[in-house]
Structure 1
């Protein structure tokens, strides 16, 4: 746990150690336990990945300040404005950061200052005007990943073997596609509620399909995945097969496998260890949620999708989000149902996932009787 000391106080990278008893309250065993409980809840306020990103943001800013002969505390809007400018147009050989990354860095700084008892005024002119200028000069439309459509996903699934690892990967692809799930949501699933402390949700398999209860970016939501028209393409059947042959009745749904591909290990697929799908990992290696993206890219190549392009360009077109985008682009249902299924807060966010929009399905010109 990384600590930074300032005026006799310490703060961990998640800020939980900032929670203590007031100085005028005498400590006791009960109160100390309450402090520990509060720190656990404070740590749970953000995901581990977010906390790690915020810690990296602070470390980078603190190092930058030292190189400029300044201190990161207390917050100086003038220095932060200069820092943002340096991120957009570096004075050293470092690559310029995108606008979205710069905004994320600023959010990380605001969070870190809050954990240290300071308020960062992002509307201060030294920060707000610099950021507005960066957006005006450097902002670009977001680069969208190619959608994986129905025929694509079927071709990708057909490339997988029927060993334990192949069954697992088939379930990842079909469940992720049919559920419009994020990579992190796929690997965070448990077999039952409260199986593990780091669970991000659980599954219930029913006669007509599977119900996924997810604790996602936008809060708790339920995702209903119906059974498919055939066992070869049914996500629920793939999930059942994967669990059955892995002998999984407790804990994480998706785990790494042994080198021989015949034994399921206990380790959840996580972002701590990255492995390739095709090449086997060491017996004790754990795969990551990036495994889903690697799986997609490898099977895209194997299935011959967009074979008119060079291999490098084909790989760059696809990522984990291709599954979600593909569902939105392929599903011919009311937009409201797709929005609910994906857990989007707004219809506008759902439309961003639409890669093949029927732009004139709603004709407001005719609706206005013109």
Structure 2
């Protein structure tokens, strides 16, 4: 790779990830209609390499690091392992105006920096001793068990949906909660669903309503996967029935399944819901249903999030662990166990199995 001039390096430092390392034709080629279309296609694929939320986080990571460098009188480019090691130490130490970050946040910030450097044509070696030893020391000194969100169990979800009215918004929100719970879905997966395959460019999957249940085809973190959601024992808590009711009264047969509604609540709009709606819905119905009423409202809100639905299914489903693993799309049983807030931990007794 040819070396960059100081002016080019300075420009790279100020560029956002959408502009840094822009895909262009090699200098020795002359542009043409075909090649220009391929460049546009390559840029589109590059932009789709990470989710919108991930790109926003990476952009923020770079902005914060670049600002820190300016304050210290340093340049963010080219990458300096020594400066990055100092930056990590600063994040872990904190200050009166900036509290220390958790180990997981620091590790994610470092990943964001590595991605940003790659987009700007530089390589960041995380194994460099200035980075690796500092990070190892931070993990050894500050690492703590992960703080897990509370699981929403079967009685909880029934109480939550019972707080919802039977108007159009209520039908939609009931379908969101029941589908998210029964499917063990991430909130982004819930709102990304379309009524049919290839309905919209930003689709994250689609749903098929069958006699015995619903089949979801999802473009998830680990690739395409299918999630089977069977019909429940009661229409009041059946996720498939809830979806059918919402789609019928909202008159949705194409495009995003979960959309906003008009101000009077009588008409479904075409705009796809944001995944933050799922988080707000969970917190609101947790409060309305009186779940964990023994705690102050602030603590109750902090306990529950979108992941509470996935954790609830993993904890409440009385089936073999491997079925839960497949349903959630986990690559390992260890990841599934992280979601199980209650389980028979000593079902397999290795002590007795070893003869003691």
Q: Same fold (TM over 0.5)?
A: yes
Cα distance in 1 for residues equivalent to 2:281 and 2:288: 10
Which of 315, 323, 326 aligns to 2:312? It is: 326
Whether the 8 Å CA contact 2:10–2:77 is kept in 1: the answer is no
Deviation of 1:364 (Å): 1.7
Q: Secondary structure at the match of 1:18?
A: coil
Residue 25 of structure 1 pairs with residue 29 of structure 2: yes
Which of 349, 352, 356 aligns to 1:366? It is: 352
Which of 318, 329, 332 aligns to 1:343? It is: 329
Aligned to 1:143: 147
Which of 183, 194, 198 aligns to 2:198? It is: 194
Aligned to 1:291: 277
Aligned to 2:265: 261
Aligned to 2:69: 65
Aligned to 2:3: none
Cα distance in 1 for residues equivalent to 2:21 and 2:86: 30
Q: Secondary structure at the match of 2:229?
A: strand
Q: Secondary structure at the match of 2:133?
A: helix
Cα distance in 2 for residues equivalent to 1:51 and 1:61: 15
Which of 33, 41, 44 aligns to 1:40? It is: 44
Q: Secondary structure at the match of 1:203?
A: strand
Alignment of 1:200-215 (within 5 A): 200-215=204-219
Cα distance in 2 for residues equivalent to 1:221 and 1:243: 23
Aligned to 1:308: 294
TM-score (norm 2): 0.95
Deviation of 1:129 (Å): 0.7
Residue 14 of structure 1 pairs with residue 18 of structure 2: yes
Aligned to 1:90: 94
| Cα distance per residue 1:274-303 (max 9 Å; x no partner) | xxxxxxxxxxxxxxx121111111111211
Structure 1 residues 336-345 or 357-366, which shifts more? 357-366
Structure 1 regions of 5+ residues with no counterpart?
A: 271-288
Whether the 8 Å CA contact 2:21–2:119 is kept in 1: the answer is no
Structure 1 residues 167-176 or 212-221, which shifts more? 212-221
Number of residue-to-residue matches in the alignment: 348
Dislocated runs of 4+, deviation >3 Å: 7-12, 14-17
Aligned to 2:4: none
| Cα distance per residue 1:88-115 (max 9 Å; x no partner) | 1134511211111111110010001111
Deviation of 1:369 (Å): 3.3
Whether the 8 Å CA contact 2:9–2:78 is kept in 1: the answer is no
Structure 2 regions of 5+ residues with no counterpart?
A: 1-6
Alignment of 1:206-245 (within 5 A): 206-245=210-249
